[in-house]
Amino acid sequence: MKSAPWIATTLVLACLAQLASRGANARERQLCADLRLEGALEPGLSDTELRLVCGDPKSQAWRSIPPPQATFHLRTFLQNRGYHRPEFIATEGGGTRVRIGTPTRLTRVQAEGAPAALRLERRRGLRGKPLTPALLSSIEQWVVQRLQALGHPCPLATALGNSDTGDVVVQVRTGPAPRVGAVIEEELVPGLLPGLFRRYDAFQLGESFNGDWLAVTADRINAQDVIQNIHFTPVCEPLPDERTGVVIRQSLTPGPPRLLSFGLGIDTEGLLLARAAWRHARLGRAASWLNVTALASAREQSLESTLNWYPLAVPSRRSLRPSLLLRHQNEEPFETFEARGSFALSTTYDDPVLGMSLLFGPSLRAFRTFRGVGPRDSHFLFLDTEVGVMSHSFEYFAANPRTGYRLGALASVGTRSLFSTLSAQRAEFTAQGLWNFRDFDPPLLVIGFRGALAATFTSERPGPSTGLPANFFHYLGGSSNLRGFGRQELPRSHLGGLTSAFFSTEARLGSTLPWNLEPLVFLDVGALGQEPLTLTAPIYHSPGFGLRWLSPVGVFRTTLAHGYPSNVPGHWQFFLSFAEEF
């Protein structure tokens, strides 16, 4: 027993020796028979790079590499990792020992010849990174992109790094800042009207150039699946001038006109969400489209068919949009089935800051109520109006929200005297805004606001004997408004209200933690009312926190919030979703 401390000490020393040996091996490695590498290389050489330095015994042509060539390749690979001061020392045996040293890291970056509006200090995440050609190239690309967003279609940026100090200087030539003069369509899609894609433009001829709005336009067209891919680039040879403006070159890949797609999502409210869609995106010379979509989750199942028909013989934003919808909803307060047929006039509009959309037309809806308040069967003829406003900046960052705003308004008017079970009007206004604190890229702090006010105007009142279908009333709770409560948990009576309102604010810390993890905190506040445009106590509020993960396959969001209704015990509510944003 007296030898136990000695045995323990021996084991500890052996483990430490093994760890030290592993560290030494990591710092010193025999790359080839006559080439030894000293230092911790991060990341290590790839198999292809090793073959270029040491040769490949399996290949006759690459069996051996001449020493000067091997040295040249190795020096290049080290520079690509930020090791700019390697020492190549000849050994007595005819080999070479390479002391790679430590990587040079970026300490400071500044621009010469750039306008003050560029604000290079907004670019985060550069300081401390190894000074590599790839890093310099990424800085150049960012500067060019931001200058194009500031109205310079043809800027030049050259990033020069000092391998001794880590300083980087970006030499900038902005070039002219003209307006958009014309769009050149290099390739036309057979059977389609020339100039047809101008209906999607977020930029306007005769207005100031903005490179971001070219990307918004391309995203709109690609999202509609009209073609496989489209790209816009400014023509810079010769350089544009203020009189003629800059010419935009449009290049595209037509692709097939029909598309069958499938999608999956998850959340803790509907569990698994499945979507299947078939689309014909080029009907006729005006590229009208027909879309059939099926959605299924534990809460809702629907089948919708929509035709967006452009009737004019010239390119236009105006269209006719008939649609059919079958939808089954199985919510906590009610279970209903809805059949809807609608016919709407549709148009869009864009100015240099925002885009607008308008839908206007009648809809005939029939309801069957299986559970909840309201009659078993009812029908309504509504005149529907839907208006949407979205800033171009909100649309540009849609995949990773950080700035801009979006507004929406809906109104449905129906009367008993015109093929409706009873008279009822519904209205809803929604708003969402995002603010990128100090406009950093990537963002440091994103603050978001969203809210909604909805009301149903009718002589009916919530209760078991009401003549309105259950889904005409308003409920709160869930990820879309009050995250401290279950989906449509409020009011507790499950009778619903004729008015609902909520306001949410959220702060998200961006691009600070590893693995693209972004923590967030939020506060949701809401209220309901039993009369149109009247809110009554209690006022519900639910503070909480969560985590956003921008994964390689999409965005995951999880939140944990506590609901605080008046005079009723609250509870914690957990929510997890895939591909849902604030």
pLDDT beyond 70 at 450: yes
Kindly report the average pLDDT of the chain as a whole number. 91
Q: 121: exposed, middle or buried (C-beta count within 10 Å: 0-12, 13-18, 19+)?
A: exposed
* pLDDT tens digits, 316-347: 999 999 999 999 999 999 999 999 999 999 99
* pLDDT tens digits, 112-149: 999 999 999 999 999 999 999 999 999 999 999 999 99
**Residue listed under structure tokens 């507790």:** 492
Pair 529, 498: CB distance under 8 Å: yes
Confidence of residue 3 (pLDDT cuts 50, 70, 90): very low
Pair 214, 395: CB distance under 8 Å: no
Domains and CATH numbers, the chain: 23-99 (no CATH), 108-173 (3.10.20), 180-253 (3.10.20.310), 331-578 (2.40.160.50)
SS3 call for 60? coil
pLDDT beyond 80 at 107: yes
Confidence of residue 1 (pLDDT cuts 50, 70, 90): very low
Tell me the pTM: 0.89
**Residue listed under structure tokens 């869609």:** 277
Higher per-residue pLDDT: 450 or 1: 450
SS3 call for 564? strand
Pair 436, 402: CB distance under 8 Å: yes
Distances (CA, A) of 240 to 146, 174, 207, 517: 19, 12, 14, 43
Residue 112 neighbours by CB distance under 10 Å? 11
* pLDDT tens digits, 472-500: 999 999 999 999 999 999 998 889 999 99
C-alpha span between 53 and 51 (Å, rounded):
5
Report the candidate in 383, 305, 315 with the shortest Cα–Cα distance to residue 344.
Answer: 383
